[in-house]
Each structure stands twice: as structure tokens, then as C-alpha cells.
Amino acid sequence: MLGKRNSRFHYTVTALCTPAEAVALLTDVPRLTSRHPLVIGTRECPAGAGVLRSTRVTDRLRLGPVPFTITYVADVLAAGPEEVVTVARQRPSTTLTSRARIRAQQDGRTRIEVTISFTAPALLFRYAFGKARHAHRELADGMRGLLESGR
């Protein structure tokens, strides 16, 4: 039987915006993923029980010289003034949970602290975790740009 592996990583985004603007971006997966370096398409889906918003996301990846795509579903599970929780699931048994904590700062900026928990089959883990970490580093810069441009 093949096992699973899991790990976490963190990143912080500080942007000149309100906490409400940060929550709005974090819950708008199509808008947010417009800055994700691997995403090539999104499609809204009906939200299931306990889900606020559901989006089907397609990424383009490469393994050596071989390009391929994967599709996963990103579900926004919680959206409050101080926290947004999103879970993305892709077969076989790969799950990425994003927990963003949002805080206003005295200088008019908003601080978004994101913790990503990632689980995947052991055979895929090293590749998939590396791609997720790389993509979210770039996504952090894109988030700041989206929030500060007011789009």
C-alpha cells in the first residue's frame, strides 16, 4: 500500500488595502488565480454543502520534456473578516489547504499570513509540493499587485 506525505509552508503578503478587500480577493478564486503562474483556466462550479464558493481550476505543468495538465476543485470553506480557508483537491488524494489570517496594520496596510498544508501520495509528493511552494511564492507577489491596483 502506498502512503501519503504531508508538509506545510508559510508566506506573508502586506498590501496597501483594507482587510475587506483582502478577504474579497482571497474568496474570488478566478481573480486570485489570474496571478498564479501555473493556472490556465477556471470555471465556477455549484457549491456543495458547507462550501461558500467552488471553482474548477486547470494548471499546466511539465515533467521533464512532457507537458500535462491537471484539474482540481478549490472550495472556499470559510470567509470572515480575519480568516479565509480554502481547500483544493485533486486526484489521486492530493489536498492543499490554505488558511489566511488577515489583520489591519496601523499604517493603512493589511497583513495576510498564509499557511499552506499539503498532502499527496508519497510517489508524487516531492514534485507536487515543490510546484505548490513555487507557485504560491509567485502568487504572493501577484496578490500584492492585485490588491494595490484596486482591480
Residue 32, phi then psi, degrees to nearest 5: -60, -45
pLDDT in tens, 72-101: 999 999 999 999 999 999 987 999 999 999
Query: Cα separation of 105 and 9, whole Å?
Result: 23
Across the range 109-129, mean pLDDT stands at 96
* Better-predicted residue by pLDDT, 142 or 2: 142
Please indicate, yes or no, whether the overall pTM of this predicted structure exceeds 0.85.
yes
C-alpha cell at 111: 497583513
Cα–Cα–Cα angle for 78, 97, 120, rounded to 5 degrees? 155
